[in-house]
C-alpha cells in the first residue's frame, strides 16, 4: 500500500503498518492519534513521527510536523477505513452482535451453527478469537481497531469464510470494527451497564444503535430479538434505512418462539418459521440461552443458511464457557453453576434459568467489578434479593477500588444478604451451606481466569475454586 494513495498526494511512500499506540510505531507506520478517555493520543504525535510514522490520522486542529497529516473530524473512523484497505481481504461473510447481555453466547452459537453447516467459521469477542481448533485471548470484547483488523485478515488467510463478532458499546463508539463489511447485525437486549463511560442510558443506547445506523451494510439484514422493550427502536432504524429484517422472539415474524418447556438438562422449543412448526430439544437450560440460540439461528438464516437445517442444528449446540456452566455437584448433591452475569438483568436471567431446576433453595454468590459503572451495584443487590433464597455478597474484580466499598453498595440493595470478604471464602461458604435439593449460582466472572486486584491479575477461576472447595 502506498501513502500517496492514502493522502491523494504525488510522492508515494510505502506504508508498512498501522498503529494507534505510539509505542508500536515503526518506520513506515500510519499513526492514529485520538483523544481518549484517559489521555490525548495527539500528545504522542511527535514521538510517533520520531519513531518513523509517515502519516498521522488526527483531527484537523491537531499539530502534525514531519509527516503527512490526514485530517478528519472523525479520525477514528477515517483511520479504521484506511487500515481496513491495508489489512484486507477479510472473510466474505461477517456478522456483528450488540446488546447489553448475550453477545458472547450469540457469536459463539453462530460460529457453531455455521460449522455444523460445513462452513469454515470463527468468532471474536470476550472469549477471544475462536476457530474450530484454536483460541487466542485479546483481553477486550471488541479488540482495538488494529488488533481487530489484523485478526480478521489473519482468519481469512487461514481459510475462514464466516465470522461472527461482538460489537461492544465501547467498540462501536471508538470505531474499532469499521472497514469490515457487515452482512447482518443482531440486537439482543438493552439493560444498564457501562454508564461510567457513556454517561446515561440514552448515550449508551445511541452507541449501540450505530451498529444499525452506520456499520451494517445498506443491503444487510438486521436480526432483532423483539421481546426486548427497546427492540422497536432498532426495527424502526432498519426499516428507515431499507435493511432486511429478521425478527426473532415470542412475537417474532421470522422465528416465532411458540413455547419453551424446561427439561432436566435442557428445554423443548417449538419455533414457527416459514409457516410451519419446528420442534427442537435445546441441550441448554434457561430462557436466556434459548433467546441467544434463536438470535444465532437468525444470523445464520440472514446470511443464507437453510431454515429447517439451522433450526434442527440447535439440538447439537455445545455449552458456552462460563455461561450457566455446571462446575461440580457438592457432596450433599447440590449442583454448582458458574455464570457471567455482571448486570442486574443478567443476574435475574441466570437466577430465573436455574429456579425451575431447584427443588430446594437458590444460593447466589456475586460481587461487582471495580472501576466500572457504580450505579448497577444496588440494582444487582435488589434483583438478587427478589429471586434468591440465600445471598452472599463478595468481591469480583476490585481493580483500583476498595472492595469493601463495592460490597457496601451492593448490600444497600440486597436486604438479608450476608457479606464474605474474599471470593474463595464466599464460594466455600455457599457450598458449605447447600443441601441436597439446593442449587448454588456463582455469578460475575464466568470464564475469567484471573482476579484483577489493583494492578495485579491473580490467578482465579470460579470453576476450579468451586471444585476445590467442594472436594
Ligand X SMILES: CC(=O)N[C@H]1[C@@H](OP(=O)(O)OP(=O)(O)OC[C@H]2O[C@@H](n3ccc(=O)[nH]c3=O)[C@H](O)[C@@H]2O)O[C@H](CO)[C@@H](O)[C@@H]1O[C@H](C)C(=O)N[C@@H](C)C(=O)N[C@H](CCC(=O)O)C(=O)O
Ligand Y SMILES: N[C@H](CCC[C@H](N)C(=O)O)C(=O)O
Please report how close the Cβ of residue 94 comes to ligand X at its closest, in angstroms.
17
Return the range that interacts with ligand X (CB under 6 A); candidates 114-122, 163-171, 332-340, 351-359: 163-171
Give the one entry of ligand Y, ligand ATP, ligand X, none that residue 151 binds, where binding means its C-beta sits below a cut-off of 5 to 8 angstroms depending on kind.
Answer: none
Residue 102 annotated as lining a ligand binding site:
yes
Q: How far, in Å, CA of 355 to CA of 358, rounded?
A: 5
Q: Out of 141, 313, 330, 390, which residue is the one contacting ligand Y (CB under 6 A)? A: 141
Number of Cβ within a 10 Å radius of residue 36: 11
Site for ligand Y in 341-370 (CB under 6 A): 342, 369
Which residue is closest to ligand X by CB? Answer: 36
Is there binding between residue 339 and ligand ATP (CB under 6 A)?
A: yes
Please report how close the Cβ of residue 199 comes to Mg ion at its closest, in angstroms.
22
Among 455, 458, 394, residue whose Cα is nearest residue 424: 394
Please report how close the Cβ of residue 394 comes to ligand ATP at its closest, in angstroms.
17
Residue 81 annotated as lining a ligand binding site:
no
CB 161 within 8 A of CB 121: yes
Phi-psi region of 333 (alpha: psi -120 to 50; beta: other; left: phi over 0): left
Which residue is closest to ligand ATP by CB? Answer: 102
Number of Cβ within a 10 Å radius of residue 83: 26
DSSP string, 326-392: EEEE-TTS-EEEEE---SHHHHHHHHHHHGGG-SS-EEEEE---TTS-GGGHHHHHHHHHHH-SEEE
Is there binding between residue 345 and ligand ATP (CB under 6 A)?
A: yes
Q: Strand pairing partners for 82?
A: none
Nearer to ligand ATP, 328 or 346 (CB): 346
Q: How far, in Å, CA of 123 to CA of 39, rounded?
A: 31
Residue 65 annotated as lining a ligand binding site:
no
| Cα angle, residue 337 at apex, residues 331 and 343 outer, rounded to 5° | 145
Q: Out of 292, 310, 330, 394, which residue is the one contacting ligand ATP (CB under 6 A)? A: 292
Binding site residues, Mg ion, CB under 5 A? 103-104, 126, 141
Binding-site residues for meso-2,6-diaminopimelate: 372, 396-399, 444, 448
Residues binding ligand ATP (CB under 6 A): 99, 101-105, 126, 141, 166, 188-189, 288, 291-292, 323, 339-341, 345-346, 349-350, 446
Amino acid at each position: 500500500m502506498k501513502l500517496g494513495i492514502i493522502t491523494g498526494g504525488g510522492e508515494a511512500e510505502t506504508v508498512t503498518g498501522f498503529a494507534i499506540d505510539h509505542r508500536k510505531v515503526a518506520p513506515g507506520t500510519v499513526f492514529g492519534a485520538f483523544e481518549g478517555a484517559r489521555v490525548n493520543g495527539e500528545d504522542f504525535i511527535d514521538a510517533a513521527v520520531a519513531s518513523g510514522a509517515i502519516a498521522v490520522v488526527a483531527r484537523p486542529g491537531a499539530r502534525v510536523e514531519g509527516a503527512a497529516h490526514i485530517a478528519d473530524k472523525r479520525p477514528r473512523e477515517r483511520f479504521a477505513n484506511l487500515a481496513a484497505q491495508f489489512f484486507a481481504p477479510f472473510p466474505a461473510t461477517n456478522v456483528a452482535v450488540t446488546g447489553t447481555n448475550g453477545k458472547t453466547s450469540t457469536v459463539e452459537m453462530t460460529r457453531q451453527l455455521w460449522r455444523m453447516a460445513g462452513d469454515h467459521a470463527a468468532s471474536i469477542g470476550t472469549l477471544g478469537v475462536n476457530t474450530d481448533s484454536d483460541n487466542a485471548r485479546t483481553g477486550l470484547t471488541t479488540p482495538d481497531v488494529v488488533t481487530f483488523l489484523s485478526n480478521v485478515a489473519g482468519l481469512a488467510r487461514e481459510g475462514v469464510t464466516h465470522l461472527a463478532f461482538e460489537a461492544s458499546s465501547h467498540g462501536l463508539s471508538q470505531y474499532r470494527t469499521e472497514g469490515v463489511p457487515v452482512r447482518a447485525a443482531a440486537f439482543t437486549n438493552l439493560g444498564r451497564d457501562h454508564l461510567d463511560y457513556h454517561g446515561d442510558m440514552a448515550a449508551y443506547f445511541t452507541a449501540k444503535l450505530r451498529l444499525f445506523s452506520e456499520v451494517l451494510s445498506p443491503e444487510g439484514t438486521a436480526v432483532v430479538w423483539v421481546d426486548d422493550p427497546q427492540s422497536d427502536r432498532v426495527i424502526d432504524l432498519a426499516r428507515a434505512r431499507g435493511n432486511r429484517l429478521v425478527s426473532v422472539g415470542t412475537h417474532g415474524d421470522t422465528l416465532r418462539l411458540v413455547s419453551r418447556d424446561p427439561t432436566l438438562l435442557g428445554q423443548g422449543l417449538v419455533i414457527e418459521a416459514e409457516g410451519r412448526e419446528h420442534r427442537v430439544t435445546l441441550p441448554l437450560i434457561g430462557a436466556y440461552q434459548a433467546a441467544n440460540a434463536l438470535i444465532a439461528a437468525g444470523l445464520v438464516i440472514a446470511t443464507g443458511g437453510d431454515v429447517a437445517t439451522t433450526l434442527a442444528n440447535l439440538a447439537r449446540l455445545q455449552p458456552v464457557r462460563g455461561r450457566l456452566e455446571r462446575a461440580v455437584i457438592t457432596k450433599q448433591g447440590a449442583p454448582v453453576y458458574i455464570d457471567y452475569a455482571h448486570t442486574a438483568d443478567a443476574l435475574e436471567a441466570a437466577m430465573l434459568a436455574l429456579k425451575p431446576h431447584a427443588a430446594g433453595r437458590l444460593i447466589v454468590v456475586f460481587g461487582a467489578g471495580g472501576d466500572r459503572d457504580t450505579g448497577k451495584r444496588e440494582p444487582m443487590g435488589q434483583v438478587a434479593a427478589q429471586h434468591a433464597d440465600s445471598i452472599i455478597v463478595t468481591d469480583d474484580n476490585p481493580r483500583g477500588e476498595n472492595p469493601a466499598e463495592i460490597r457496601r453498595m451492593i448490600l444497600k440493595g440486597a436486604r438479608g444478604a450476608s457479606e464474605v470478604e474474599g471470593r474463595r471464602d464466599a464460594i466455600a461458604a455457599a457450598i458449605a451451606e447447600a443441601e441436597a435439593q439446593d442449587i448454588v449460582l456463582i455469578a460475575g466472572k464466568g470464564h475469567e481466569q484471573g482476579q484483577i486486584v489493583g494492578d495485579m491479575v491473580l490467578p482465579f477461576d470460579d470453576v476450579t475454586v468451586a471444585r476445590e472447595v467442594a472436594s
